[in-house]
Structure 1
Amino acid sequence: MSGMEMPGSSDAPKTRAAPPSGFAEVRIAPEVQQRIGVTLGTVRRTPLTMTIRTVGIVRPDETKVRHIHLKTEGWVEKLFVSFTGQKVKAGDPMLSIYSPAFFAAQREFLIALQYSRAAPSPGQRNVVDTARQRLALWDVPMSTIEALEKTGKPSKSLILRSPISGVILEKKTFEGQYVMPQAELYTVADLSTVWVQGKVFAYELPHVALGMPATVTFPSLAARSFVGRIVFIDPVIDEPSRTVQVRVELPNPDGLIKPGMFANVLIAHAMGSGLTVPTSAVLRTGERDIAFRAVAPDRFAPVEVRISPLRFDDRFQILEGLKAGDEVVTSANFLIDSESRLRAGGGDMTGMPGMGVEQKEKKDAAHPKTTH
């Protein structure tokens, strides 16, 4: 028959399990299947990968950020690094200052050195070492101290040098400014690695762990994806949003990733393998989960299934009710579900377009309308 109907008991195999309570097996002719859009999917064993997607913002790696201060005070004479965004290498000069305290410290060192040479003694050598250490604690390079020791001529200016290679994120000084130790002059960041700060929901935390890989893409770099690793999970949950901050460390050797960029983060947790079906194959009623298994090209049997509470992308894991290789309905199953329930209750859907068409035509042929 081309319509939907309940197969006779003689058609059903003796070994077939009884339909769930309130449902009945239905028959749909192939041409009707095509008309109402019936499609099938296969129960198969697939990897079980819990996928977590979130968004994040790029931040500098805080372990590679330096806030530049002086350890003395004085007047800025010259800026060697004069704008934000400028690249520097470790040891590059950043600025020079005239510092009376620095000039006096050099003089003290030279005087102590002169006395030590004239009248060597352990005590005098200690004075020289103390004066030398004072200069070193001001970040004066050892080469500069050795040159001072050889020439005996104190330098008028103290040159401040970059402690790391990186990019100037902030410049807060200008020529002629009087600066003191508490004033921050520059912020330098090494951006060869960056952090992507994202948030995941609290229920996703069991699938996130330190060291796990994460794939990161950027709307502004659509043609590329980057792989980093999770290096931090906030120990505190944000109460209003019920989310937890997660930090992904990302290599950035080419400097393409800029602080402030928006990112899409994908974290995949591999959980072995199992039997799965497309999510559209399972009708969730709240009390039980039903799938319609194809038992013949034109027959579909309702099956109660038990699924995992987790969803793996667009598939559910089947724990009970189906086996590998079974074919199940993945679209138009709501229509089939309605017909199955009606059949179980003694009704049908022959009045609906495309449903039970052949039965309706036979009925009309058997009882033709009479006209007067």
Structure 2
Amino acid sequence: MAGRSIIVVLAFAAGAAIVTLTPGLSTRLQRVVGIDMQNNRGASSVKSDGPEINLPIISMTDDQIKRAQIGLTSAGAGTIARRLLVPGTIIPHADHIVHVAVKLSGTVAELRKNIGDDVAKGEVIAVLESREVADAKSEYLAAALTNDLQQDLSTRDKTLWDSRVGTEQQYLRSRNAAAQTEMRLKIARQKLLALGLGEEEITAVPGAPEASLRRQDVRSPISGRVAERKVELGTAVGRDSLETELFVVVDLSRVWVELSVASSDLPSIKEGQSVQISARGLTETAIGKVVFVSPLVDKDTRTARVVAEIPNPDQTWRPGSFVTAGIVLNERTVPVTVPATAIQKLDGQPIVFVRTKDGFEKRDVVVGEREDHALEIVSGLTPGEAIAATNTFPLKAELSKPRDED
């Protein structure tokens, strides 16, 4: 038995000598005989107070990193939020949608806007011809003329009374008539306002051409876009079961998101909470806030209506689209976060690639909570370290290449 042990020891020593004298021998064979020589291409030694640690290094110059399109960023502090994800639908903002309707009987003489056209607040979008508006304008003109004459007579009689030339009775009659004509003018003016004419249009009536008396401009009350057109040229509109709505104008610079929240989650939802909106097929997200939480729960679905408001300057979010809303329940600031694209897994262990003067160093990390496209790093990184943020798979592939030769 002792002889066999001596033979094994001698064989081991001989193998070690062969490996030492034969540098071209494969590393797999080196391990078979009990020697694991460090591969200088894939690792470097870092000295510390404890045992020596091998840190895999991928050598790359700045030019190679640029050609490989590897994006760099710095690990730093960030905000991690816990969100409640609920389905939702984009709907127009209730204060930013207008049904442009007529207030008189007439026919459509002009249509200056069509579906999809942009309109400005106060812009003329249609012109009507109406006997009703012609009568109202004529009444206003007559009342204005009568009032001007009566006011002059009242002023003259007052002057005569003050100079003791005229009688008091004449002055009082004249003053009373002037008050009545002024009242009739105000009533005629109110009729025009009720028919939809603006202050400037009413002021311009006395100097307008006679042919324009029967025409009335229809203006948009808001800036936005024409979403619907309900009439055609020559359509009779107005009362007596006729169409009264001409256009629907929508301002989509801000929209609402109608959400369905389960009754069990309602205690966590408050007006003013931040909401992040996303949709399948869109890379953009929108940040808004909860503006309404219904006090009622649907008896069939056991959900409540919650409304959030989001900005929509580019009109990315179209009414009717289905979205996912992440309602922020709480937020906390963490010292180290990295983009989710910076994380790779090697043998099931999350890793990142830290930029060094020679290239990249593989670093094992412990991942915490996720916030959208960012991840909390619990340990393994310190704030300010430069890491590979995008296109990191080639680095993993390089690290995973077999380093042993058969």
TM-score range, shorter chain: 0.5 to 0.7
User: What corresponds to 2:124 in structure 1?
Assistant: 93
Q: Structure 1 or 2: larger helix share?
A: 2
The residue number in structure 2 matching 1:169 is: 227
Partner of 2:182: 125
Counterpart residue number, 2:327: 267
Q: Would you say the 8 A contact 2:103–2:244 is kept in 1?
A: no
Q: Within 5 A, what are the aligned runs for 1:353-372?
A: none
SS at match of 1:235: strand
**What is residue 197 of structure 2 aligned with on the other side?**
140
Aligned partner (choices 242, 245, 265) of residue 305 of structure 2: 245
Which one has more relative contact order, counting CA pairs under 8 Å at least 6 apart? 1
Distance in 2 separating the partners of 1:158 and 1:208:
49
Does the CA-based 8 Å contact 1:193-1:249 persist in structure 2?
A: yes
Distance 1:151 1:201, change over 3 A: closer
Return the alpha-carbon distance in structure 2 between the equivalents of residues 151 and 248 of structure 1. 48
1:110 and 1:152 in contact (8 A); partners too: no
Instruction: Pick one of 67, 70, 84 that aligns with 2:99.
Output: 67
Cα shift at 1:144: 1.8
* Structure 1 segment 1-372 matched on structure 2, within 5 A: 50-82=82-114, 84-120=115-151, 121-151=178-208, 153=210, 155-181=213-239, 183-222=244-283, 224-270=284-330
- Paired residue secondary structure (2:86): strand
Contact 1:110 1:149 in 2 (8 A): yes
Following superposition, the deviation at residue 72 of structure 1 comes to 0.5
Post-superposition offset of 1:156:
2.6
Letter in 1 for 2:316: L
- Residues 205-258 of structure 1, C-alpha deviation per residue, up to 9 Å, x if partnerless? 121100000011122322x21100001112211222221121110011222221
What's the CA shift for 1:204? 1.1
The Cα of 1:117 is off from its aligned counterpart by: 2.1
User: Secondary structure, in 3 states, of the residue corresponding to 2:298?
Assistant: coil
Supply the distance in 1 between the matched residues of 2:203 and 2:232 (Cα, whole angstroms). 30
Is the CA contact (8 Å cut-off) linking 1:51 and 1:313 kept in structure 2?
no
Pairwise CA RMSD: 2.6
CA distance in 1, matches of 2:194, 2:281: 45
Number of aligned pairs?
A: 232
Deviation at 1:49, TM superposition (A): 5.3
**How far off is 1:168 after superposition?**
1.6
Task: Confirm or deny: 8 A CA contact 2:80 2:332 kept in the other structure.
Answer: yes
Whichever residue aligns with residue 250 of structure 1, its letter is I
Specify the code of the residue in structure 2 equivalent to 1:166.
G
Residues 101, 201 of structure 1: alpha-carbon distance in 2 compared, 3 angstrom cutoff = same
Structure 1: tracts of 5 or more residues without a match: 1-46, 274-311, 315-323, 326-372
Tell me how far apart the structure 2 counterparts of residues 91 and 78 of structure 1 sit (CA, whole Å).
16
**Retained in 2: the 8 A contact 1:50–1:207?**
no
| Separation of aligned partners in 1, 2:121 and 2:275 | 31
**C-alpha separation in 1, matches of 2:197 and 2:97:** 21
Distance 1:241 1:313 in 2: 31
Gaps of 5+ in 2: 1-78, 152-177, 334-367, 371-377, 380-406
State percent identity of aligned pairs. Answer: 27
Q: Could you list the per-position Cα deviations for residues 279-314 of structure 1 after superposition, in whole angstroms to 9, with x for gaps in the alignment?
A: xxxxxxxxxxxxxxxxxxxxxxxxxxxxxxxxx979
TM-score w.r.t. length of structure 1: 0.58
AA of the residue aligned to 1:145: I
